[in-house]
Amino acid sequence: MSDSLTLARRLSALDDDALTALLVTRQVATREVRDFFDLADALLDPVSVRLALRSLDRATIEALAEGSTPADPTPMVELGLAHAVPDAPGGIRAYAAVEDAAAAVLARADSDADAPGAPASTDADADADAEPIDPAGPAGPAAERPAGGVPIPSATAPSDRALASERAFTALTAISELGQQLRSAPVRIRARGGVSATDDKRLAALLGVEPAVVTDLIDIAVAAGLVAVEADNLLSTTTADAWSLLPSGERWLELARAWLHALPEPVQRVLAAGAPDWSGGSRLRTSFAAKFPAADPAMRAALGHVDTVGELLGLAVDGRSTVFGRAVLAGPSDTAEAASAVEAELPPEVDQVYLQHDLSVIAPGPLVPSVDARLRLLADIETRGVASAYRISQQSIDRALASGETELSLREFLARTSLTGLPQAVDYLIGEGRRRHGLVRVRRLDGATSSGAIAPGQATGDPDTGGDHARPDHDPHTNHTRPDPAASPFSPDTTSFGARTEIRTADDTLLRAIAIDQALNPLGLRRDREGALSTRVDYAAVYWMLVDARYPVLAEDASGDELVMRRARVLPSRPVVDDAPVPAAIADLVLRLRASSAQSAPDDASAWIGRQLDKAVRTRTPVTVDVRMPDGSTTHLEVTPLSLSNGRLRCVDVRAGVERTVPVANILQVTTN
């Protein structure tokens, strides 16, 4: 029986979930597949088989090439590389195309290994089982490892240990700051990936790192689910809220392990084989090339990036494994001990700060997460590192009060946290903030729809995206609203105005100042009959324009309930257990395959014969057909098919040299010559 027919029948018997999983893994060109026969041919194509072999180790590929049974045969059947054969050793046998591709892969790998300049040793198992490289040098002490625990970092040279700690701490604080910055304003992701050079430099200055590593830090944060991309924008997620409250050791370990699990599965297996040490540099590349001979150049080139990020996270220093590298490879049962080992290497956290009379706040060390999160509400960070500096301002106090803090809660927090008491200047700002809090209120009017706001307590839109850009008085070139020269800011007629937002304050002088503020001209403010200012601009945009103009503003919904506002949206936590969404093209292909199977199932012998004849007609390939004659006998004809229509095959009889027409229903078998 043909391999294509065997595979097509097996594929048609799969349920939708198994079939979808196979299509996602094998990455089939969906446009070229019309039925299960096409799918079988696509999966057995040499190029497709070679791609499927990339993630298989050498032992499995050797078993496939020799026609023997791999150590774990089940994945081979699930990947469409082998099929069940009861009388075969192990109960499975690779398809002929797979055997040929596996043999070609091994031949090429052996040829590359014998080429000049190739590594002398390519035995993956020997490499993985070799004595770990001693970071302290040949004379250094071997790493101690308590039973069932994480290696004690005594094997790491002091300079390497300090450098690894510095790198790990820098990456941890930079990613934490990235999440904070994205809550102020999102970052646009380019169509080809990564952020622009301008954003690279801006973020690098905010995160305290070099621009060259910003993209790597973003990739780590995305892998950990702390940030995510939506509509070409990079946004923070609610996962970062819970993560930021963890101890430093656990936070770093979650980052590093999330990045590790996001690597291609073959890379993870090679790194795990080298545990407890982190196998970086040439050792990793040599082991990978030997263990996965079908890996393409792109996969091998990606190993260099693994080294780069490994050094960035402190997993290795100049290719030498550190306590961080050993901790990230520790098993699930060692997670608590690994986190403790990491935390011991990071700078100790503090829970108190120095409040200065110049409104600056100095943290003598990394703040515990709960203190840092609360301090960020009432102060703006100026420098971040082992010792960080913050600054309190009237605007930051207003922000804290708008976020739910009260005058009493702020005083209690600072009294408990400050090592220098509460300076008079800070005390004055808190009192002034209480007096000013909510002096100006922005409310969405009933019936108005918000273009940039979401549910109360959640994030709202950027002021640049707020407002109605379809209005006739909106200037698309300046993004400003053209004021109506005939209308006064205090015009009482707002019947046909279509107001969406109103601004209220008990201080009439302040209201007049807002009405004539040149910075607020784009809002097109008008005075309504009740003494408030109204605008057709969305309330989220109005709120942020007033904030930028330094007014003590508070946002309210249509019912008058206070809202906590953020400039950028915060995405919900992504699913951890659920599988990734199925691509639409694959979902459509599954439906198309089911529809084709209803018309001509692979189990139908006539469907397979029709498939072979159709293929022979298109390629003008000579075939031998077994034809059932009227008397019940069978005759063999060597023919060149010309056309197939209305259930009849028109062909040229090669031996007789004449043209014949044969009913397809009488053809019992087709064999390619």
Q: Which residues pair with residue 75 across a beta bridge?
A: none
**pLDDT more than 90, % of the chain:** 22
With CA atoms as reference, report the closest residue to 617 among 645, 659, 587: 645
- Range with lowest mean pLDDT among 15-29, 309-323, 445-459, 537-551: 445-459
pLDDT at 116: 57
Q: Residue 357: its pLDDT value, please?
A: 93
Whether residues 257 and 397 fall in one domain: no
Please report the DSSP string for 592-650 in residue order: HHHHHHHHS-TT-HHHHHHHHHHHHHHHT--EEEEEE-TTS-EEEEEEEEEEEETTEEE
Question: Shortest CA distance to 466 belongs to which of 567, 541, 548, 521?
Answer: 541
- In a shared domain, residues 368 and 505: no
More confident residue, 327 or 455: 327
**Residue 476: DSSP 8-state:** T
Do 405 and 526 reside in the same domain of the chain?
Answer: no
Instruction: Count CB-CB contacts under 10 A for residue 14.
Output: 17
d(CA 20, CA 595): 15
User: Looking at the domain assignment, is residue 588 inside a domain?
Assistant: no
Q: What is the pLDDT of residues 465-481, one digit of tens each?
A: 333 333 334 343 333 34
**What is the structure's pLDDT at 345?**
93
Q: State the Cα–Cα distance between residues 202 and 204, nearest whole angstrom.
A: 5
Please state, as a whole number, how many other Cβ atoms lie within 10 Å of the Cβ of residue 21: 17
Question: What's the pLDDT tens digit per position in 584-612?
Answer: 788 888 888 888 766 666 666 777 788 78
Comparing CA positions, the residue from 501, 520, 497, 521 lying closest to residue 449 is 501
Helix (H, G, I), strand (E, B), or coil: what is residue 221?
Answer: helix
**Are residues 329 and 402 located together in one domain of the fold?**
no
Between 551 and 128, where is the model more confident? 551
**Nearest-angstrom CA–CA distance, 360 and 135:** 42
* Domain boundary, last residue among 114, 134, 163: 114
User: Quick one: 337 and 358 in the same domain?
Assistant: no
User: Which pLDDT score, from 0 to 100, does residue 153 have?
Assistant: 44
Q: Are residues 312 and 238 in the same domain?
A: yes
Instruction: Tell me if 574 sits within 8 A of 239, measured CB to CB.
Output: yes
Q: Poorest-confidence range of 39-48, 62-71, 240-249?
A: 62-71
- Taking only Cα atoms into account, the Rg of the chain, rounded to an integer number of angstroms, comes to 34
Q: Are 479 and 462 in contact (CB under 8 A)?
A: no
Pick from 327, 359, 165, 170: which is nearest to 260 by CA? 327
Whether 544 is in a domain gets the answer yes
Residue with the larger pLDDT of the pair 324 and 155? 324
Give yes or no for residue 255 having a pLDDT over 80. yes
- The per-residue pLDDT of the chain, averaged, comes to 80
Strands 440-444 and 553-556: parallel
Q: Do 165 and 249 belong to one domain?
A: yes
Indicate the pTM of the whole model.
Answer: 0.67
Res 581: pLDDT: 56
192 and 332: one domain? yes
pLDDT of residue 353: 95
**CATH code (residue 662):** 2.30.30.100
- Please give the pLDDT value at position 486: 39
SS3 state of residue 188:
strand
CB 310 within 8 A of CB 167: no
What would the mean pLDDT of 138-147 be, rounded to a whole number? 36
Integer angstrom CA distances of residue 19 from 36, 39, 51, 220, 543: 11, 11, 18, 32, 51
pLDDT score of 475: 40
pLDDT on residue 431: 92
CA distance 400 to 33: 59
Amino acid at residue number 25: T
- Whole-angstrom Cα distance, residue 222 to residue 229? 8
Q: Is residue 44 classed as helix, strand or coil in its secondary structure?
A: coil
Report DSSP letters for 264-292, one per residue: -HHHHHHHHHTTTS---HHHHHHHHHHH-
> Is the domain of 60 the same as that of 102?
yes
Residue 590 lies in a domain: no
Pairwise CA distance, residues 402 & 552, whole Å: 9
pLDDT value of position 26: 86
Share of the chain above pLDDT 70, in %: 82
User: Is the distance from CB of 524 to CB of 494 less than 8 angstroms?
Assistant: no
Sequence length of the chain is 673
Boundary (domain end) residue, out of 296, 325, 345: 345
- Three-state SS sequence of 300-338: HHHHHHHHHHHHHCCCEECCEECHHHHHHCCCHHHHHHH
Domain match, 87 and 182 both: no
**Does residue 136 belong to any structural domain of this protein?**
no
Which whole number is the average pLDDT over 385-401? Answer: 89
What proportions of the chain, in percent to the nearest 5, are helix, strand and coil?
45, 15, 40
Predicted confidence at residue 249, as pLDDT, reads: 93
Asked if residue 276 has a cis previous peptide bond (ω within 30° of 0), the answer is yes
Residue 312 belongs to what domain range? 153-345
Say whether both 95 and 18 belong to one domain.
Answer: yes
Written in H, E and C, the secondary structure of 547-580 is HHCCCCEEEECCCCCEECCCCCCCECCCCCCCCC
Instruction: Specify if 121 maps to a domain.
Output: no
**Mean pLDDT for the stretch of residues 644-658:** 87
Residue 554 is predicted with a pLDDT of 87
* Alpha carbon distance 54, 429 (integer Å): 63
- 104 and 11, same structural domain? yes
The confidence score (pLDDT) of residue 144 equals 40
Enumerate residues 6+ apart whose C-beta is below 8 A from 183: 236, 459, 566, 567, 568, 570
Give pLDDT tens digits for 204-226. Answer: 988 889 999 999 999 999 999 89
Structure tokens at 444: 């969405």
Q: What is the pLDDT of residue 618?
A: 84
Report how many domains make up the chain: 5
User: Which range has the top average pLDDT, 37-46, 324-333, 341-350, 486-495?
Assistant: 341-350
pLDDT digits (tens, 9 = 90+) for 552-567: 888 888 888 888 787 7
Instruction: Specify if 122 maps to a domain.
Output: no
pLDDT (tens digit per residue) in 280-327: 777 788 888 888 888 888 788 778 889 899 999 999 998 889 999 999
Rounded CA-CA distance 76/53 in Å is 10
